[in-house]
Amino acid sequence: MISIVEKRLKKGKLKKPELLAPAGNLDKLKIAVLYGADAVFIGGQEFGLRSSADNFTIEEMAEAVKFAKPFQVKIYVTTNIYAHNENMSGLVQYLQAIEKAGVTGIIVADPYIIETCKQVAPKLEIHLSTQQSLSNYMAVQFWKQEGIDRVVLARETSAQEIQEIKAHVDIEIETFIHGAMCIAYSGRCMLSNHMTARDSNRGGCCQSCRWDYDLVQRKGEEWIPMYDGSNEAFAMSPKDLNLLASIPKIIDIGVDSLKIEGRMKSLHYVGTVVSVYRKVIDAYCENPETFVLEQKWVEELDKCANRDTAPAFFEGVPGYQEQMYGVHEKRTTYEFAGLVLDYDKETQVATIQQRNHFKPGDTIEFFGPEIESFMQTIGEIFDAETGESLDAARHPLQIVKIHVKAPVYSNNMMRKKK
């Protein structure tokens, strides 16, 4: 790996990769853009997985493009279902509308959508989804020949494999760096279909892999338990992916786009994850030789974690320690308390939109792209309209004013320890 860094440095081309963020709606998209994403992927109302996410109408896509353009941020739309015959109509109009909305590209798995897109919406880039489980360079070569602009590799590929793929095929490579994982090869899991008649490859996955099972052996007519009572049940639930510490290696390999999972995730998650990876990518590219991963970035990222995290296949073969046994509650240490709408320099008063209950005396933390995170204790809370002093901000989306000890900017966030 080191030799690659030296080579790139000599040539002066340690290419800064694209940081690709998820957004489930326009608010989240704005946060992703403002907090440092180079590109954002969104779902439309058809042909995409995650059918229970908010998802964008065509008009909202156009609005997303319009918002992102001045920041030179690209928008991609996920159209990554494996279509059944009954899902095949309406695609032409849909792709043409996406193209017209100014979207840069689509993320696709099904050849039907790929081929149709080439014909009817040629301006759209085509990115092959991780649903194709691309794991070797010959498969990547095949899709390059098919005119695919970018491939998202299988989450099962290691750093070395990605490097080999990069060396063999001249094509843009996108890999996941953060977020929830499938325990199976993506697209190769029908647990949801069999257990609940919800089609995972059309966006209905019920996440059966997060449930508990008893492992038993059939011997003759008997079922022999393969566990003793003191142990947790058999589970497949994978820890979430976190490649913060591997960012230098990923950049050295020359991966073109670093993808964060989570179209269903909160504003707080999008803001936190994007801003941390932004800082790490920038710091490393600025000066790779002196770069050190600062502990505060690691801690910051952990503040929005839903589960324990692991580097999964990127850093080798994941063992049992990268799965969770007997863990069902989501692990959240911080909650999103409020969004800064405005700040008055003269009075040092911030206008805040409430996102979770907070009250005078609570310790909160402000963070955002323009500021160094800081903690403070909440003093008096005033209703923004009436000026009335409140004993707490208890209503969702309620607008209040509080005094802050350092400048904040609109769209900064306020989080609170749970």
Burial class (CB in 10 A: 0-12, 13-18, 19+), 70: exposed
List C-alpha distances in Å: 104 to 64, 136, 256.
Answer: 12, 26, 16
**Which of 89, 231, 363, 389: binder of other proteins (CB under 8 A)?**
231
**Residue nearer to other proteins on the CB measure, 50 or 259:** 50
The DSSP code sequence of 249-286 is HHHHHT-SEEEE--TTS-HHHHHHHHHHHHHHHHHHHH
Pick the closest to residue 26 from 37, 13, 42 (CA basis). 42
Q: Which of 218, 330, 345, 418 binds other proteins (CB under 8 A)?
A: 218
Query: Exposure pattern of 381-397 as b/e (b: 16+ CB <10 Å)?
Result: bbebeeeeebebbeeee
136 binds other proteins (CB under 8 A): yes
Asked if 93 is part of the footprint of other proteins (rule: CB under 8 A), the reply reads: no
What is the smallest separation between the CB atom of 80 and other proteins, expressed in angstroms? 11
Binding flag, residue 229, other proteins (CB under 8 A) = no
Q: Is 156 in the site for other proteins (CB under 8 A)?
A: yes
CA distances in angstroms from 14 to 33, 115, 158, listed in the order given:
23, 34, 21
Tokens encoding 264 = 């269903």
Q: Spell out the SS3 assignment of 365-413.
A: EEEECCEEEEEEECCCEEECCCCCEECCECCCCCEEEEECCCCCCCCCE
- Does 204 contact other proteins by CB under 8 A? yes
Member of 12, 70, 229, 319 binding other proteins (CB under 8 A): 319
Q: Indicate the residue among 47 and 343 with the shorter CB distance to other proteins.
A: 47
Q: Between residues 207 and 323, which has the closer beta carbon with respect to other proteins?
A: 323
Size of the site for other proteins (CB under 8 A): 71
The region of 29-37, 181-189, 329-337, 366-374 touching other proteins under the rule CB under 8 A is 181-189
Does residue 315 belong to the site contacting other proteins (CB under 8 A)?
no
Q: Tokens standing for 251?
A: 């950049």
Question: Does 193 sit near other proteins (CB under 8 A)?
Answer: yes
Interface with other proteins, residue 316, by CB under 8 A? no
Residues numbered 72 to 91 that lie near other proteins (CB under 8 A) are 82-88
Of the candidates 27, 63, 125, 161, which one interacts with other proteins according to CB under 8 A?
161
Binding segment (CB under 8 A) for other proteins, from list 26-34, 149-157, 297-305, 397-405: 149-157
